[in-house]
């Protein structure tokens, strides 16, 4: 055992003497961050020792970064400094107080649901209205789970996976995003509460998109969410997180981590629709969405594809990335990021080519309106052994007001002579000529904007599962209502 490990062990046992013999009744951790908090969370979740150790290492790393004030400051976003000791790091998911009918729900919220075309049953669920048996999420979830089990697909909460499949968790946790990766990844590793876990066994093509299931189960998973998806050899899974319905949360800071792993010939398609509360008209009170998402194409001929539609949150900081380790592996990133009001988004992707003949595509669309500020930040890195690799990057910005901003920061690092990289970028306003052309066909100014903006996002939307493409379109329209035309 290394000295480091022993130190951890010693600390672990010491702490145990101090207070965790007595069972704690409360479901909420004490405010603040220290080793006891970590132990408390781990004990609460009845975690195996490896996980507690991992959390503690992450915690210590985080504290070092915090003490050295090594907070990530390179992103083009601005916010007051966060007091990390003034946060409650764990709180068991609360069951919301059930309302009796939709009439008790905030009419503004219902209007939004209507605009988004959310079915009535689902509106009720989202708004916390008690629903009848047909819409009972638990029973539907069970049906889905049974169906998945037939194929050997393991899918459920991270906590369940820790209990039922600790060997898989131990093998893959942190294998893509180590706790040393960045400031918020360290924090997440130390205090993550729950998230999703999915394992698709060899040769299995997941029989349906893990979409409906997730939506039905989109309960409050807490502010430090952790997701791990592993696609074993020759398997395929399409996964969707998020929901177009506006998500409010009392926690301002959200620091999630998502890790994807594909083995030989496997494929993961991961789609996100993010609509966190963006704050009031002046941007006050919105969610800080600081997310680390990364996939590793560990096997040859494997593929990871990220698609995201980011319309919410006061600040978005995320770079869904792919490490192309296996030969002939493929990484893709498709993104639409909308900022309006005082929203800020610094988002993009990192493609690290390590294997031979690896290919990556980045299509990023940034739309800025009002005082919104959108930045595309990307890195394409081709290592010496990644011969004959190929990347295509296109990052386009559309400006809809005079006080918004769009920035593009693409980095490229190529260390061999046989790879091929292409980069395209343009920034534009909706042109007077396009608007006049539409008007001349009888199309109103507002409808013309709608058409042009949807057209701008088309390449990304068509990557989404069909029903979500429809939802994403509506979401964008609802968000832009009143900002153009």
Partner 1 sequence: MLEVIDLHASIGDVPILKGVNLRVNAGEVHAIMGPNGSGKSTLAYVLAGHPSYKATSGRALFEGQNLLAMLPENRARAGLFLSFQHPVEVPGVRFDEFMRAGFNALRKSRGVPEMGVLDFNKHLASKLGIVGMDATFTRRYVNEGFSGGEKKRGEILQMAILDPKLAILDETDSGLDVDALREVAQGINKLRRADNAILLVTHYQRILSYVTPDVVHVLIGGRIVKSGGKEMALEIETEGYDKYEDMAKALRAGA
User: Taking a C-beta distance cutoff of 8 angstroms, is the pair 472, 244 a contact?
Assistant: yes
Angle between helices 183-191 and 35-44 (to 10 degrees): 50
CB 384 within 8 A of CB 424: no
CB of 326 to partner 1, least distance (A): 33
Residue with smaller CB distance to partner 1, 203 or 455: 455
Instruction: Quote the CA–CA distance of 126 and 120 in Å, as a whole number.
Output: 10
Q: How far is the CB of 436 from partner 1 (least distance, A)?
A: 5
Pick between residue 63 and residue 451 the one whose CB is nearest to partner 1: 451
- Please report which helix (H) or strand (E) contains residue 476, including its range: helix 466-480
| 433 forms part of the interface with partner 1 (CB under 8 A) | yes
CA dihedral (290, 308, 157, 202) in degrees, to 10, reads: -130
Place of tokens 């969410």: 225
Q: Which CB atom, from 63 or from 484, has the smaller least distance to partner 1? A: 484
Cβ 464 to partner 1 shortest distance, Å: 14
The three-state secondary structure class of 311 is coil
Q: Which stretch binds partner 1 (CB under 8 A): 69-77, 169-177, 239-247, 432-440?
A: 432-440
Structure tokens at 89: 């790091």
Q: How far is the CB of 416 from partner 1 (least distance, A)?
A: 33
By beta-carbon proximity to partner 1, the closer residue of 69 and 433 is 433
Are 54 and 174 contacting, i.e. CB atoms less than 8 angstroms apart? yes
Take residue 323 and report the two structure tokens written for it: 């490490």
Shortest separation between residue 447's beta carbon and partner 1, angstroms: 6
Residue nearer to partner 1 on the CB measure, 207 or 455: 455
Residues in contact with partner 1, total (CB under 8 A)? 23
Find all residues with CB under 8 Å of 88, minimum gap 6, and list them: 28, 29, 30, 31
Span from 340-348, 367-375, 428-436, 469-477 in contact with partner 1 (CB under 8 A): 428-436
Return d(Cα 406, Cα 70) in angstroms, integer. Answer: 27
359/365 with CB nearer partner 1: 365
Smallest distance, partner 1 to C-beta of residue 113, A: 24
Instruction: Return the range that interacts with partner 1 (CB under 8 A); candidates 268-276, 283-291, 373-381, 427-435.
Output: 427-435
What binding mask, one character per residue, do residues 454-483 give for partner 1 by CB under 8 A, x or -? xxxxxx------------------------
Cα 429 from Cα 396, distance rounded (Å): 11
Closest contact distance (angstroms) between CB of 452 and partner 1 is: 6
With b for 16 or more beta-carbon neighbours within 10 A and e for fewer, the 411-446 pattern comes to eeebeeeebebeeeeeeeebeeebbeebeeeeeeee
Tokens encoding 348? 């993009």
Please report which residue ranges of 158-225 form alpha helices under DSSP H: 158-164, 166-172, 183-191, 212-216
In the bound state with partner 1, the residue whose beta carbon lies nearer, of 137 and 394, is 394
Instruction: Find the angle CA(95)-CA(100)-CA(103) to the nearest 5 degrees.
Output: 120
Nearer to partner 1, 106 or 432 (CB): 432
d(CA 226, CA 190): 11
Minimum CB separation of residue 476 from partner 1 in Å reads: 13
Report the residue number, 456 or 468, with the smaller CB distance to partner 1: 456
- Give me the least distance between CB of 380 and partner 1, in Å please: 24
| Nearest approach, Cβ of residue 421 and partner 1 (Å) | 23
Classified as helix, coil or strand, 148 is helix
Print the binding letters for residues 436-455 with partner 1: x by CB under 8 A, - otherwise. Answer: xxxxxxxxxx-x---xx-xx
Residue with Cβ nearer partner 1 (50 or 436): 436
| 434 contributes a contact to partner 1 by CB under 8 A | yes
Using CB under 8 A, list all residues that contact partner 1: 431-434, 436-445, 447, 451-452, 454-459
């Amino acid at each position: 055992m290394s000295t480091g490990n022993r130190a951890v062990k010693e600390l672990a046992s010491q702490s145990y003497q101090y207070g965790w013999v007595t069972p704690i009744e409360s479901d909420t951790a004490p405010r603040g961050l220290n080793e006891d908090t970590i132990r408390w969370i781990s004990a609460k979740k009845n975690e195996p020792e490896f996980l507690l150790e991992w959390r503690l290492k992450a915690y210590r790393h985080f504290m070092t970064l915090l003490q050295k004030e090594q907070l990530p400051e390179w992103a083009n976003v601005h916010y007051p400094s966060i007091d990390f000791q003034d946060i409650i790091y764990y709180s068991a998911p609360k069951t919301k107080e059930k309302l009796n009918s939709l009439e008790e729900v905030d009419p503004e919220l219902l209007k939004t649901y209507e605009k988004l075309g959310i079915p009535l049953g689902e509106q009720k669920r989202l708004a916390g209205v008690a629903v009848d048996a047909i819409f009972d999420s638990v029973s539907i979830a069970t049906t889905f789970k049974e169906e998945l089990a037939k194929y050997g697909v393991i899918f459920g909460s991270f906590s369940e996976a820790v209990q039922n499949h600790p060997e898989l968790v131990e093998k893959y946790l942190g294998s893509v995003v180590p706790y040393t990766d960045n400031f918020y990844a360290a924090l997440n590793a130390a205090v993550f509460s729950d998230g999703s876990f999915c394992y698709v066994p060899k040769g299995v093509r997941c029989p349906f998109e893990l979409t409906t299931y997730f939506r039905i189960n989109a309960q409050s998973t807490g502010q430090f969410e952790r997701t791990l998806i592993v696609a074993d050899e020759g398997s395929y899974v399409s996964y969707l997180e998020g929901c177009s319905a506006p998500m409010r949360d009392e926690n301002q800071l959200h620091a999630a981590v998502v890790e994807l792993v594909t083995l030989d010939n496997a494929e993961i398609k991961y789609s996100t629709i993010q609509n966190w509360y963006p704050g009031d008209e002046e941007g006050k009170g919105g969610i800080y969405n600081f997310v680390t998402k990364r996939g590793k194409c560990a096997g040859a001929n494997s593929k990871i594809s990220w698609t995201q539609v980011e319309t919410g949150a006061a600040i978005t900081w995320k770079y869904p990335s792919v490490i192309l380790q296996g030969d002939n592996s493929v990484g893709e990133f498709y993104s639409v990021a909308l900022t309006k009001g005082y929203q800020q988004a610094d988002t993009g992707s990192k493609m690290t080519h390590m294997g031979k003949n690896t290919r990556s595509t980045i299509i990023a669309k940034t739309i800025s309106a009002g005082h919104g500020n959108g930045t595309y930040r990307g890195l394409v890195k081709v290592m010496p052994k990644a011969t004959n690799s190929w990347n295509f990057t296109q990052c386009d910005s559309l400006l809809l007001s005079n006080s918004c901003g769009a920035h593009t920061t693409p980095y490229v690092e190529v260390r061999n002579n046989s790879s091929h990289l292409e980069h395209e970028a343009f920034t534009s306003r909706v042109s007077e000529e396009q608007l006049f052309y539409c008007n001349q066909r009888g199309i109103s100014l507002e409808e013309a904007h709608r058409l042009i903006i949807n057209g701008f996002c088309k390449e990304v939307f068509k990557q989404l599962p069909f029903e979500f493409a429809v939802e994403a379109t509506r979401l964008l329209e609802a968000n832009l209502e009143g900002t153009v035309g």
